[in-house]
Structure 1
Amino acid sequence: MSRRQTDEPVGAGATLGLPAAWAVHDAEELLAVPHWVRTRVPGLRECFPQVPDAVWRRLESVDGREFALAVAGMGVLVAAAAADGRRTGGRSRFYQAALDGFGLHGLAHLAQAAAVRGYTPGSATSPLVVVPFWLWARTRLRRAGVLRPLRTRDAVLGLGAAGAALAGTPAVARRLSRPTAGRRP
């Protein structure tokens, strides 16, 4: 056994806890986004004129069903990563990238809330659930000797994968939520 490897198990909490923490966080987003977009985006457009109109229009056009489908799509990816993490005792690169993406995502929510000087969907559970879970799970992985260092290259790849997932799941959701009338079989 190497010096870094120990007999301490990672435990199910560090791996299977990821979709649980994600579900709490995304429940907040599901509950908050529709109202927040309706009430806050017009004012934010004025505060942040440098953001292209296309971004604001896209944000305003997301309906509740489409958003819920996109969240469900991300949930499938998070659950798959957690299952792979459990299967590999936390060693899975996929799991660790998802875990780090989740934690960095929580920090992004806090930065968004700071930028708008107020609440943004996801900013309530980020300091209470997301960031603490991320730090706790990374500590468990480190103690078990399986934590991969969070390197810039890995963070860029992880954020790129998360970006692709964030872009892809709404696209799939949009496709699935379209009315079926007029569609070819």
Structure 2
Amino acid sequence: MGDSSTAEGVGAAVTLGLLAAWAVHDLEELATVPGWLRRNVPELRRRFPLVPEPVWRRAGRTDPVEFTAAVGVMGTVVAAAAVAGRLSGGRSGFYQSALTGFGLHRLVHMAQAAAVRGCTPGSVTSPLLVVPFTLWARGRLRGAGVLRPTRPRDLAVGLAAAGAATVAAHGMARRLVGAARRAS
């Protein structure tokens, strides 16, 4: 099976491309999150007083090592989804939900940028990479007959899966980094 759409499904550019697009996007986040939070949390705390104080304390103390570990855990999830997509010719529900979640999570980045009226981590690659890749991949899946028309439920599942994976990745990273620090 090549990279063109076939009756068997879609090729590697569509399925494994999810991992590649995610990696580029998350490299932006790795490069920007800790410093951006350090510089911006005091101003954000003043501008958004309704956000609970524990959220600001946690954001202001973002550990770069823990954040990097969380990105690695999430990378494992995305890699598994991309491989499931490749092995199924794009038919895997896990892969399709991950692709949907990847595309929808751009809304979070774009909403953050709009709320602060400026550039935020992830807001550069969201419109330049996340949106175009997601639309292209979904178009290829539809063209190959392996993606049904999107229902509101599909959007909710994709966004919920992305949110749950993010929370789980950060929880796992906290445990891994904590265990590694206790062992050393």
TM-score, reference length from structure 1:
0.91
Offset, 1:89: 0.5
Within 1, Cα distance between the matches of 2:87 and 2:172?
A: 28
Name the counterpart of 2:33: 33
Q: Is the 8 A contact 1:28 1:121 kept in 2?
A: yes
The letter for the 2-side match of 1:57 is R
Within 2, Cα distance between the matches of 1:149 and 1:50?
A: 39
Choose the corresponding residue for 1:180, options 165, 169, 182: 182
Name the counterpart of 1:51: 51
**Equivalent residues in 2 for 1:28-107, closer than 5 Å:** 28-107=28-107
Within 2, Cα distance between the matches of 1:19 and 1:64?
A: 22
Offset, 1:61: 2.0
The letter for the 1-side match of 2:82 is A
The letter for the 1-side match of 2:127 is P
Within 1, Cα distance between the matches of 2:38 and 2:60?
A: 7
Offset, 1:157: 2.2
Within 1, Cα distance between the matches of 2:149 and 2:81?
A: 18
Farther off after superposition, 12-21 or 170-179: 170-179
Offset, 1:169: 0.9
TM-score, reference length from structure 2:
0.91
Distance 1:149 1:58, change over 3 A: farther
Aligned-partner SS, 1:13: helix
Within 2, Cα distance between the matches of 1:49 and 1:136?
A: 40
- Identity across aligned pairs (percent)? 63
1:118 aligns with 2:118: yes
Q: Is the 8 A contact 1:107 1:131 kept in 2?
A: no
Q: Is the 8 A contact 1:16 1:86 kept in 2?
A: yes
Q: Is the 8 A contact 2:9 2:91 kept in 1?
A: no
The letter for the 1-side match of 2:132 is P
Name the counterpart of 1:146: 146
Name the count of aligned residue pairs: 178
Q: Is the 8 A contact 1:96 1:148 kept in 2?
A: no
Q: Is the 8 A contact 2:9 2:88 kept in 1?
A: no
Within 1, Cα distance between the matches of 2:126 and 2:183?
A: 40
Unaligned 5+ residue runs, structure 1?
Answer: none
Offset, 1:180: 1.4
